[in-house]
Structure 1
Amino acid sequence: MAIHDWPAQERPRERLLAHGPRALSDAELLALFLGSGTRGRDAVQTARDLLGTHGPLRRLLDLPAAQLARLPGLGPARSCALMAGMELAQRHLAARLQQGECVGQSVAVAARYLQHRLRGRPNEVFVALFLDNQHRLLACEELFHGTVNAASIHPREVVRRALALNAVAVIVSHNHPSGNAEPSRSDREATNALQRALALVDVRLLDHLVVGEGPPVSFAERGWLPEPGAAS
């Protein structure tokens, strides 16, 4: 049975319009991109097949565009649409940062942006978000690139960029390609050194977010970023 023959309340498009995108499963959201299925299978069945063979969803969407284009039910046009949708989502989150939506103690918008940008990268990448005095985004820069399990952090370079951009606050992040976001001892030591170096030029380190599978780990939420000189 084709999707247009389903009861209206069960069709993905109608359900999205009535209840919003969060009401749909991964397969249903993917089916809306596909538009139609492969021979003998509707779009939702085709999406389920893709997720069953190449999923879960994040793993499927982390595939290079050329590889996506070769999968049944996708092809060049649909794979390009998926890649464009993901890029739009990342730019939307960046725009929210530029509008100052990470003001205050919550860095949820920054966490979502960095998770989207870093998760799935094959090597460790260290990123810094430089913020103005209203915590609006001045620049997002990938400062250091490493191996599958390490990336060296050079505080002097982060300080240099902060001064060049006239930033008053910084959020940093790096990924763990293993998927285990638990910070290592060296992560904590490097972050402490970075916080001290930034404090010397009156720049505040708001958070260090480690990206892996699941939610990023926040140094600030764990209480690992006390003000320099504060009693421990």
Structure 2
Amino acid sequence: MEIREKINHFGPASMTTEQLFMLIIGSGTKQYPVEQIVQQLAYRSKNFTDLAALNAQTLLQIPGIGQANQGRILALLELMQRLKTCQWLPLQQPVAKNTIVQHLVTKYSGYQQEELMGFFLDVNQSLLAEKILFRGTLTMATVHPREIIKTALMLPCVSLVIAHNHPSGNLAPSQADLMFTQRLQSCCQLFNLNLLDHLIIGQDDFLSFQDRGLL
């Protein structure tokens, strides 16, 4: 049965990852059939477990992939990443730190844009809001605690967790991370808010300021 017939009869869930990529690429070329192209994609991405390896330069090094297929694959990977980072925790439900950690590790796996997140909790530790507070490198000049405090005061918030990702995978907090956390903690104390933790998210791992005695 042809791949297009299979997806029409049984749906995309019945397809292997290789078959899905074959559908995206199309028929390949006379010299490089689509099966061979997909084998190279699988090889270079460690059997599709490291999709970040399929960057623009790498794709053009694979025989049979021209600019058209490069564009299709890059668009697909970007769309996958955007949809993944659009996932949010349910509101008005109690949330534990471990739940936030698992959520963020999944959310930012392979993500190359640094973001600062805030999780705002009520007196019952229920999640009131999950917000992207800043995109870009976290520095004293670009992020001010007052913006976070302002968001918290607009809610019946009593405690919060902040988190940002390190795309490099290095979990060590920078001097800017430490200074920013200290300033935010001082501001929270002025408004009777409890800063529960600052999390740094790497590649499938995390660092907790609270657990390290930095908070």
Q: How does 1:65-80 map to 2 (within 5 A)?
A: 72=65, 74-80=69-75
Q: Deviations over 1:154-202 (max 9, x none)?
A: 2222212211233332221233354422113442232122123113222
Residue pair 2:157, 2:193 contacting (<8 A) in 1 also: yes
> Alignment identity in percent?
25
Give the equivalent residue in structure 2 for 1:175: 165
> How far apart are 1:140 and its partner, in Å?
0.7
Alignment length (residue pairs): 192
Q: How does 1:221-232 map to 2 (within 5 A)?
A: 221-225=211-215
Distance 1:196 1:113 in 2: 30
Give the equivalent residue in structure 1 for 2:104: 111
Q: Deviations over 1:87-143 (max 9, x none)?
A: 333333x1x343636336653234325534x8412xx54332333444325141223
Residue pair 2:140, 2:176 contacting (<8 A) in 1 also: no
Q: How does 1:125-204 map to 2 (within 5 A)?
A: 125-133=115-123, 134-143=125-134, 145-146=136-137, 150=139, 152=141, 153-204=143-194
Q: 1:84 to 1:181 in 2, by over 3 A?
A: same
TM-score (norm 1): 0.60
TM-score (norm 2): 0.64
Distance 1:104 1:178 in 2: 23
Give the equivalent residue in structure 2 for 1:211: 201
- Alignment match of 1:89 (pick from 63, 84, 89): 84
Q: 1:78 to 1:178 in 2, by over 3 A?
A: closer
- Alignment match of 2:18 (pick from 19, 23, 31): 31
**AA of the residue aligned to 1:205:** L
Distance 1:135 1:166 in 2: 11
Residue pair 2:161, 2:197 contacting (<8 A) in 1 also: yes
> What residue ranges of structure 2 are gaps of 5+ in the alignment?
4-12
Give the equivalent residue in structure 2 for 1:9: none
- Whether 1:120 aligns to 2:112 is yes
Residue pair 1:125, 1:144 contacting (<8 A) in 2 also: yes
Q: 1:51 to 1:197 in 2, by over 3 A?
A: same
Q: Deviations over 1:8-35 (max 9, x none)?
A: xxxxxxxx98xxxxxxxxxx97525414
Q: 1:35 to 1:138 in 2, by over 3 A?
A: same
Runs ≥4 residues deviating over 6 A: 67-71
Residue pair 1:97, 1:110 contacting (<8 A) in 2 also: no
SS of 1:107 mapped into structure 2: helix
Relative contact order higher in (CA < 8 Å, ≥ 6 apart)? 2
Distance 2:117 2:95 in 1: 16
Give the equivalent residue in structure 2 for 1:100: 93
> What residue ranges of structure 1 are gaps of 5+ in the alignment?
5-15, 18-27, 226-232
